[in-house]
Amino acid sequence: MGNLLTIRGLALEAGPRRSPTRLLRGIDLDLDRGEVLGLVGESGAGKSTAGLAAMGHVRDGVRVAAGSVEFDGQDLLRLPRGRLRRLHGRHLSYVAQSAAASFNPAHRLIDQVTEAPRLHRVASRKAAQADAVALFSQMHLPDPGGIGARYPHQVSGGQLQRAMTAMAMTCRPGLIVFDEPTTALDVTTQIEVLGAIRDAVEEHGTAAIYISHDLAVVAQMADRICVMKDGLVVETAPTRTMLDAPREDYTRSLWSVRSFRRPEAEAPAPEPLLEGRGVTAAYGRVRVLHGLDFAFARGRTTAVVGESGSGKSTLARVLAGLLPPEAGEVVWGGEPMEMRLARRGSGTLRHVQMIYQSADTALNPRHAIRRILSRPVRRFTGRRGAALEARVGELMDQVELDRALLDRRPGELSGGQKQRVGIARALAAEPEFVICDEVTSALDQLVAEGILRLLVGLQRELGLTFMFITHDLAVVEAIAHHVIVLENGRIVEQGGRDDIFERPRHPYTRRLLASVPRMDPDWLDRARTRDLQPHA
């Protein structure tokens, strides 16, 4: 058997022994030397747990209920801790989702990158540092000789992610587990990191497990794909077979989830509800928005897209009244709008509402849903007693939630349900203009699609005007009427959705669109040959 890794009947559980939460319910996985296996599934499917278990690592509070993980002939789950530790970093290594959180803020990069070879006595300090510099340059990091002297906070997220891949490579391990390594990155950065990871894996003949919720990304990286759901393997097949002919219904539903499109044929854009002229904003002395001119058409969805740091959220803060602009004016229905929150009348406060990215942190965990919704209803519409009660129930109907959930707290709801409560809370004020800040980014694709359908329906029913902030261009394509592209605080292009997507004029827009992974295993190769100048 040339098998490097053989997982058989692996079951993991957590929580009380009598009624445990079953994280993995008996999975089998095989990996050959030099092979890349993609693990795909929604959150809670057990991908990360399986990836860590492949290294013999289970997190605190998690127990092995059954099964074995055989790596190179040794059962990792039954090795004494010291022996396992000698494998970690040496023969098995890990690349985590957030490089910013996975590098120790107190130490220089080079010391962290060379820690494993020094501890495992693979190389002397000097040799390890020279090797790290070589790996840095192979990962296309700028200034490979000098970047190691920096601390993590001095290096961008995309560069850190590449440095972490270099760190995983230092001992030339037999297996690397990549756990969503590009999920936190912008698309244009993601494409560079994906390319660098694939080159490195190919060059060193390393076997890898590549975990992602994004099928299009996995399709670029993996030789075989394994789809997981609820702690079980749904199906496993070579990448092309899996993309062209998935056998299971669940796999097909994952594949088709990106097919949602707002129904076409709407009337031409009406007059703008809100218009900005020369809007300029700054945090202290750092100017973030530079003279933006924009308009949000009444009853339409305008998507604001751009990478992190482009000023999307700052624009939302300006319109919400949280950050008064330095210059420029905003006109609401023909009248100048008060930009300082404290001076806004209740009318303006009521008409501008927000839905947040993370419903987890935007809802008070100690309040029941009824209280979360009643407060804005009372505050903005003055309803009391039975009328208040009726309105709260109606809001639950509008966001398609069971009224029985009113007495629950946010912690007892699923991610999608919580986001619906967030939407209902915004609707409670009976607003005209709703700022949606990355409202689907934290959700699984199937759940996100449900939220998008809900928002489109609400817009048609209530005539809402949406400002839709997102970095996810597939979402934009699905629901936007109008698109504003921001780069470094300037609008580089704006127009109708089809114009932007089919006839992008500005090079930045083109690069942004070209960087969105497609469900085609050759996409990365083509995208890179077309556009391989380093941008970092």
Partner 1 sequence: MSKIQRLVLGRLALGLLTLFAVSLLMFAGLEFLPGDLAQQILGQSATPDTVAAFRAELGLDQPPHIRYLDWLGGVARGDLGNSLASGRPVTDLIGPRLANTLFLAGYAAAIAVPLAVGLGLMAALWRNTAFDRGANLGALSAISMPEFFVAYLLILFLSIKAGLFPTLARIDMASGPVDALHATFLPALTLILVVVAHMMRMTRAAIINVLASPYIEMARLKGVSRRRVILVHALPNALAPIVNVVALNLAYLIVGVVVVEVVFSYPGLGQLLVDAVSSRDLPIVQAVGLVFAAVYITLNVLADIASMIANPRLRHGS
Task: Extract the tokens encoding 4.
Answer: 């490097």
Give the integer Cα–Cα distance in Å for 206 and 71: 14
List the one residue from 38, 89, 299, 311 that touches partner 1 (CB under 8 A): 89
User: Would strands 74-75 and 482-487 be described as parallel, antiparallel, or unpaired?
Assistant: unpaired
Q: State yes or no: residue 253 binds partner 1 (CB under 8 A).
A: no
Q: Which stretch binds partner 1 (CB under 8 A): 128-136, 149-157, 225-233, 337-345?
A: 149-157
Q: Which stretch binds partner 1 (CB under 8 A): 81-89, 189-197, 305-313, 432-440?
A: 81-89
Give the integer Cα–Cα distance in Å for 261 and 208: 35
Give the integer Cα–Cα distance in Å for 159 and 518: 23
Q: State yes or no: residue 87 binds partner 1 (CB under 8 A).
A: yes
Give the integer Cα–Cα distance in Å for 508 and 437: 22
Q: State yes or no: residue 160 binds partner 1 (CB under 8 A).
A: no
List the one residue from 57, 229, 317, 350 that touches partner 1 (CB under 8 A): 57
Q: Contacts with partner 1: how many residues (CB under 8 A)?
A: 30
- Per CB under 8 A, which of residues 102..141 are in contact with partner 1? 102-107, 115-116, 119-120
List the one residue from 101, 245, 322, 532 that touches partner 1 (CB under 8 A): 101
Q: State yes or no: residue 154 binds partner 1 (CB under 8 A).
A: yes
Give the integer Cα–Cα distance in Å for 428 and 434: 12
> DSSP assignment, residue 88?
B
CB 45 to partner 1: min, Å: 20
Q: State yes or no: residue 151 binds partner 1 (CB under 8 A).
A: yes
CB 82 to partner 1: min, Å: 9
Task: Extract the tokens encoding 449.
Answer: 């699609």
Q: Which is nearer to partner 1, 50 or 439 (CB)?
A: 50
Q: Which stretch binds partner 1 (CB under 8 A): 9-17, 90-98, 375-383, 449-457?
A: 90-98
Q: Which stretch binds partner 1 (CB under 8 A): 84-92, 132-140, 325-333, 427-435?
A: 84-92
CB 152 to partner 1: min, Å: 8
Q: What share of the chain is helix, strand, coil (3-state, %, to 5)?
A: 40, 25, 35
Q: Which is nearer to partner 1, 113 or 196 (CB)?
A: 113
Give the integer Cα–Cα distance in Å for 504 and 498: 9
DSSP bridge pairs for 282: 287
List the one residue from 78, 86, 384, 460 that touches partner 1 (CB under 8 A): 86
> DSSP assignment, residue 337?
P
- The answer to whether 390 touches 381, Cβ cutoff 8 Å, is no
Alpha-carbon distances of 273 from 335, 433, 457, 463, 470, rounded to whole Å: 10, 8, 20, 11, 21
Length of the chain (residues): 536
CA 72 and chain centroid, separation: 34
Q: Which is nearer to partner 1, 71 or 380 (CB)?
A: 71
Name, in order, each residue with C-beta under 8 angstroms of 390's C-beta and a sequence gap of 6 or more: none
Q: State yes or no: residue 183 binds partner 1 (CB under 8 A).
A: no
Q: Which is nearer to partner 1, 167 or 254 (CB)?
A: 167
- Per CB under 8 A, which of residues 497..536 are in contact with partner 1? none
Q: State yes or no: residue 88 binds partner 1 (CB under 8 A).
A: yes
- C-alpha angle with apex 484: 478 to 488, nearest 5 degrees? 125
Q: Which is nearer to partner 1, 94 or 356 (CB)?
A: 94
Give the integer Cα–Cα distance in Å for 181 and 242: 22
Q: What is the DSSP string of 35-80?
A: -EEEEE--TTSSHHHHHHHTTT---TTEEEEEEEEEETTEEGGGS-
How many Cα neighbours within 13 Å face the side chain of 91? 16
Q: Which is nearer to partner 1, 93 or 220 (CB)?
A: 93
Q: State yes or no: residue 93 binds partner 1 (CB under 8 A).
A: yes
Q: State yes or no: residue 256 binds partner 1 (CB under 8 A).
A: no
- Per CB under 8 A, which of residues 436..495 are in contact with partner 1? none
CB 87 to partner 1: min, Å: 7
Q: State yes or no: residue 336 binds partner 1 (CB under 8 A).
A: no
User: Would strands 21-32 and 3-14 be described as parallel, antiparallel, or unpaired?
Assistant: antiparallel
List the one residue from 15, 21, 28, 59 that touches partner 1 (CB under 8 A): 59
Give the integer Cα–Cα distance in Å for 191 and 186: 9
User: Would strands 232-238 and 224-229 be described as parallel, antiparallel, or unpaired?
Assistant: antiparallel
Q: Which stretch binds partner 1 (CB under 8 A): 101-109, 263-271, 277-285, 309-317?
A: 101-109
CB 55 to partner 1: min, Å: 7
Q: State yes or no: residue 55 binds partner 1 (CB under 8 A).
A: yes
Q: State yes or no: residue 94 binds partner 1 (CB under 8 A).
A: yes
CB 86 to partner 1: min, Å: 6
Is the dihedral angle over the CA atoms 15, 18, 22, 24 positive or is it negative? positive
Q: State yes or no: residue 162 binds partner 1 (CB under 8 A).
A: no
Q: Which is nearer to partner 1, 120 or 379 (CB)?
A: 120
Q: Which stretch binds partner 1 (CB under 8 A): 123-131, 145-153, 245-253, 354-362?
A: 145-153
Q: State yes or no: residue 47 binds partner 1 (CB under 8 A).
A: no
CA 37 and chain centroid, separation: 21
CB 501 to partner 1: min, Å: 35
Name, in order, each residue with C-beta under 8 angstroms of 419's C-beta and a sequence gap of 6 or more: 355, 359, 439, 440, 443, 447, 451
Q: State yes or no: residue 308 binds partner 1 (CB under 8 A).
A: no
DSSP bridge pairs for 29: 7
CB 51 to partner 1: min, Å: 11
**What residue ranges bind partner 1 (CB under 8 A)?**
55, 57, 59, 85-90, 92-94, 96, 98, 101-107, 115-116, 119-120, 150-151, 153-154, 167
